[in-house]
Amino acid sequence: MYKIGDYIVKSMNGVCKVEDILHLNMSEVDKTKLYYLLIPIEDKRAKIYMPTDTTDVTVREAMNEDEAWDLIKRIPTIDEMWIDNSKLREQNYKEVVKNCNLDDVVGIVKSTYNRKKKREAEGKKNTAVDERYLKMTENMLYSELAFALKKDKDEIYDIISTSIGDN
């Protein structure tokens, strides 16, 4: 169980602060059930209510500074996540985003980024699916690293580019 003040990562919402633990007073909601009130760090006006007894695998503790530096150091060794079949690829990417496993997120960023560069060199545009997942997974990755390292996302991009030698 998370405590008030904890930071967690919720799929599609990014890093969120546990602002409160409360009972909801809404119709059609079990009034005896406890909920976390989550506030995403990138949209402080948003409120997310999540049952405290959830077994949702799409929620985990936000990484700390040591874990962030460890991930950055490991980026060059993390395999790209590429599937030739575009339907299976998109399905796989959706699962990764839902589960918010950062090693898999890095794999998608690497594969979609490299494919984009290859297509540009051939005079082609990036596919819509690749572009959408590149932006989505980069945002997931950079946002959480920025939070853990107390830096902004532009600095994170520079740190990662330097660490993988892509200036």
The rounded distance, in Å, linking the Cα atoms of 80 and 59 is: 24
pLDDT for 10 beyond 80: yes
**Span 74-103, pLDDT tens digits:** 999 999 998 889 899 999 999 999 988 999
The rounded distance, in Å, linking the Cα atoms of 65 and 62 is: 10
Single pTM value for the model: 0.88
The rounded distance, in Å, linking the Cα atoms of 22 and 52 is: 9
DSSP conformation class of 8: E
The C-alpha angle with vertex 111 and arms to 106 and 116, in degrees rounded to 5, equals 125
